[in-house]
Structure 1
Amino acid sequence: MSSKILVIDDDTAFCMMLKTFLQKKGYEVMNAFNANEAEACIKSQKFDVVLTDIRLPDSDGLAILKLAKEISFETQVILMTGYTDIKTAVNAMKIGAYDYVGKPINPDEILHTIEQALKKKNEKSEPVSLQKEKTSPKKSNNNTPSFVTGISSHSDQLHEYISLVAPTNMSVLIIGDSGTGKEYIAHSIHMQSKRANKPFIAVDCGAIPKELASSEFFGHLKGSFTGAVTDKTGHFEAANGGTIFLDEVGNLSYEVQIQLLRALQERKVKPIGSNNEIKVDIRVIAATNEDLSEAVKKSDFREDLYHRLNEFSIQAPKLSERKHDIMIFANHFLAAANEDLEKDILGFDKEVSDLFMNYDWPGNLREMKNTIKRSVLLTKSDVISIAVLPQEMLNANTTEEVPAYSKLNEESAIRSALERANFNKSKAAKLLDIDRKTLYNKLKLYNIDL
């Protein structure tokens, strides 16, 4: 069994890159981006090594160290920091830390430290004959997660809504731009519902010709019309007991909307050519990138169907609104592309990470997934460089301006600029139109600790 490591750091890009690196060395790795997440992980499962930043947004590494040792004294804790605080290092060693390493982290150095920590752990807990076997990590079969949960406020709200509505039978309307992951949201609702072990049928409403819509939704019998050479089960019957997902529902013709409304109201469908109605027990989730309320006003979409579908609505956020999630998604897509293309790219160089953070992502998650897969294919080194990115990304105007500010709202403007610049102080200074020294003085004045 491979050794289990928990990596804790609020720098999501670094945290994910370190996770990928350690997974490639055969370790089973989990990430936590704050002390609350770390505490939940440590209390729910046992780790061989905990690797934590000394400074976290809601606590510090010493508190994590104490908790880890309380839960399992055998767990080895390694502290990381960009701050050369000797007193903290001494205190950490006194209360049981295995080691203390400074940032920037050298991957080979941290790997060596982890191996030594595991060796010490095994010397304490295992017979001598088992030590060599345990300290040689074995490769995990599947390191790629099936889904990603972000850490931004948009992600928190999104997953809170999913958790709230999933156990119910309410119809859900998911609203969002193309590529924002509406089908993923729908599938997440299904998998957290009481219907999780029943079918999930996704239907692209925009791809169904008006003439074939009735057959696609409700099915037909052989010979019921020209070309009906066999019986066909419709999407509603196929989804019986489970969930039907109607993607881009705004593309349905008015005539098909009437048929769909009747099926939803009566929970019965009649295949073309049949005299018998089939009862269906389904949950309906619909998605659109249009403003259906405007379509209702223009009489392009039936109001009664709109209200039937919109018992609960969820807004799928744009990727550009989820700055704190960007590198989490990027590393997820990198892992998936590595698996698909049988490559071993470790991560992104800093120039690429900065571009990702400042790019507008008009195609959202779909664009990011395709961009990263293409980049992995073209990359010949260990990390993705800016040279392999699409030209349109490089040409995009990513300059962001901070609204004019006065002394009254200076602190707020500085915090906003730091967030937009992904806490890069040089970029934040440029956005504020001040020099770095002035920014450092302001950070000290307002007690803004980075």
Structure 2
Amino acid sequence: MNEMRKAAEAKDMKALNEGVHHLRSSWMQIESRKQGFGEETDGGTLFLEEIGNLPTEVQQMLLRALESKMYRPMDGNRDKKADVCVTAATNEDLPTAIAEKRFRADLYQRLKEYALHIPPLRECKEDILPLADFFLRLANEEFEKQVKGFDAKARKRLLAYTWNGNVRELRRVVCLAVLHTESDIVTVETLEFDEVTLAGDVPWTLDGMEKKQILRAWEQATATARWLPNCSASDAPHYMVKCKSTVLGTRNRKLLPQV
């Protein structure tokens, strides 16, 4: 009888411990539940970036939420009300997207209560150099460098470039220039752009662009090959001969140095 009582007590204690653990886990899940955007921004402003890239089914859900000012949490089973001011931005041409059936016309009209057009960076020449200096300071802090600024040719090139990527592209170009420069001044040679044609300059031919990119890749690969065992500076290009015949086409192969 004693053994049976001890076994029953042990079984009851195990069940009690499991029950306490279950309650504790449930309480922790409730406490750690994250708030959604609707709940966090209630009474405030919600900024939606690149609204033109939303899938059509999400556009429908957003339109319904804007019209009713109601939303349903991901882990909930009933709707909640939220008083949210929605601000949206996009680089997409929304009227064109509407004509191509990629964006809802009713959502466009709902969002276009007040529209603010921000001109591209190429139309704000007076902002390019101050922004470039600002991004240079940020890059110095990030890369722990002491680059002082841009030389005259580099500043002229920054002003002449079209900046299709706007401020994001400017920041990337400046950060890469700070990272790659070996002196305390950024020169025009360290500026890397996505496109070569500059405002007021004679456009490069396609062969000219390809030649510059291929020769630069060749120089970098040659410099890397010099670190290989038993490879001298004069022998390094021979390690890349196979690359010429397998990766590059016949038309581009003639652009590389002959080895």
Say yes or no: TM over 0.5: yes
- Structure 1 residue 391, shift from structure 2 partner: 6.5
In the other structure, the counterpart of 1:330 is 132
Contact 2:160 2:198 in 1 (8 A): no
Shift of 1:270: 1.5
In structure 1, what is the equivalent of residue 106 of structure 2?
A: 304
What's the counterpart of residue 349 of structure 1? 151
Label 1:277 to 1:332 Cα distance change in 2 as closer, same or farther (>3 A).
Answer: same
For 1:27-176, list aligned pairs within 5 A. Answer: none
1:379 and 2:174 correspond: no
Identify if the C-alpha distance between structure 1 residues 263 and 368 changes in structure 2 by more than 3 Å, giving closer, same or farther.
same
Larger radius of gyration: 2
Shift of 1:271: 2.4
Pick closer, same or farther for the CA change 1:340–1:273 going to 2, 3 Å.
Answer: closer
What TM-score, normalized by structure 1, do the two folds share?
Answer: 0.35
Q: Which residue of 1 aligns with 2:37?
A: 235
Shift of 1:399: 2.4
Question: How far is 1:259 from its partner?
Answer: 1.4
The answer to whether residue 97 in structure 2 is matched with residue 319 in structure 1 is no
- Cα separation, partners in 2 of 1:321 and 1:271, compared to 1, 3 Å: same
Q: 2:192 aligns with which of 373, 390, 394?
A: 390
User: What is the SS of the residue equivalent to 2:86?
Assistant: strand
**Where does residue 178 of structure 1 map in the other structure?**
none
Matched, 1:399 2:200: yes
- Residues 287-302 of structure 1 aligned to structure 2 (within 5 Å): 287-302=89-104
1:366 to 2:168 alignment: yes
Q: Residue deviations 1:74-117, cap 9 Å, x none? A: xxxxxxxxxxxxxxxxxxxxxxxxxxxxxxxxxxxxxxxxxxxx
Q: Runs of 5+ in structure 2 lacking a partner?
A: 1-31, 203-259
* Equivalent residue, structure 2, for 1:282: 84
Residue 273 and residue 324 in structure 1: after superposition, are their counterparts in 2 closer, same or farther (change >3 A)?
Answer: closer
TM-score normalised over the length of structure 2: 0.60
Q: Does 1:253 align with 2:64?
A: no
Aligned with 1:345: secondary structure? coil
**Alpha-carbon spacing, 1:266–1:391, altered in 2? closer, same or farther (3 Å):** closer
Amino acid at match of 2:118: A
Matched residues in 2 for 1:253 and 1:391: separation?
31
Corresponding residue number in structure 2 for 1:264: 66
- SS of the aligned residue for 1:314 comes to coil
Q: Secondary structure at the match of 1:315?
A: coil
Equivalent position SS for 1:312: coil
* Pairs within 5 Å for 1:172-251: 233-251=35-53
Q: 1:391 to 1:318 in 2, by over 3 A?
A: closer
Q: Distance in 2 between matches of 1:392 and 1:303?
A: 34
Aligned length: 171
Q: Using the aligned pairs only, state the percent identity.
A: 41
C-alpha distance 252-392 of structure 1, shift in aligned 2 (>3 A):
closer
> Greater strand percent: which structure?
1
| Unmatched tracts of structure 1, length 5 or more | 1-229, 402-450
SS of corresponding position for 2:116: strand
CA drift at 1:311:
0.8
Conserved 8 A contact 2:173-2:193: no
- Aligned-residue RMSD, C-alpha: 2.3
Amino acid at match of 1:361: W
CA displacement, residues 234-276 of structure 1 (integer Å, 9 cap, x when unaligned): 3222322222111121222222222111111111111246332
Larger RCO, structure (CA 8 Å, separation 6 or more):
1
Shift of 1:297: 3.4
Alignment partners' CA distance in 2, 1:391 and 1:287: 25
Q: SS at the partner of 2:146? A: coil
User: Aligned residue for 1:445?
Assistant: none
Q: Deviations over 1:210-230 (max 9, x none)?
A: xxxxxxxxxxxxxxxxxxxx9
Q: Could you say if the C-alpha distance between residues 303 and 396 of structure 1 is closer, same or farther in structure 2, counting changes exceeding 3 Å?
A: closer
Aligned equivalent of 2:11: none
